[in-house]
Amino acid sequence: MSVARTLPWDWYPGTIPENVAVNDTAYVETTFSFTKYRSELSVGVRIGRGSATYSGTMFDVGPRGRVHLGDYVLVHGAWIICDAEIEIGDYTLISWNVVLMDTYRVPFDPLERRRELERAIVRCPRRIEAEVPARPIRIGRVAWIGFDVCVLPGVTIGEGAIVGARSVVMNDVPPYTIVAGNPARVVRHLSTEEINHGR
């Protein structure tokens, strides 16, 4: 019989699910982050060495979802919606109110959306469970995602990239590039000096 994994400092009386792998040097501020977690994989979330997830972070991971936080990743209040895979590289900073979503979870067709909303009322708990394709999100090492950013399905954000606050990222972001806006567009490329300073 396994022992329930609680956090001695936690304000919420929950546990870390058995299929969540947390490195001994990592920090999880609260088990409330897992109240929407439903992954059935052997490891649905992996939190690497020295990484930290702070209050407000939510792992909204579906039955086939997998999230991997590399080493020394800081996630401060992000909502991670994952039905396929979200991978966050080492030394990446995810600011508050960021949404990473590898799926829309609702059909684009209005009639199908309506039917799904009607079906949701008989589910317990009430939730949308439409068969909608998910496309993985990949965020490279040493990236910085500003507050209130939304990263949409299928996006890859390159190593060392910076995403400006309140941007909506619909397309891939090249490595060592600053993007901003809705939709996010390239503002500039980081200089060699800026890149080398961060290494």
Tens digit of each residue's pLDDT (9 = 90 or more) over 123-158 = 878 877 778 899 999 999 999 999 999 999 999 999
**Sign of the CA dihedral running 185, 141, 96, 61:** positive
C-alpha closest to that of 93 among 50, 47, 144: 144
- Identify the structural domains of the chain with CATH numbers, from first to last: 20-105+133-197 (2.160.10.10)
Residue-level pLDDT at 114: 87
Residue-level pLDDT at 198: 58
Give the N- to C-terminal CA distance of the chain in Å, as an integer.
Answer: 45
Element (H, E) at 111: helix 110-120
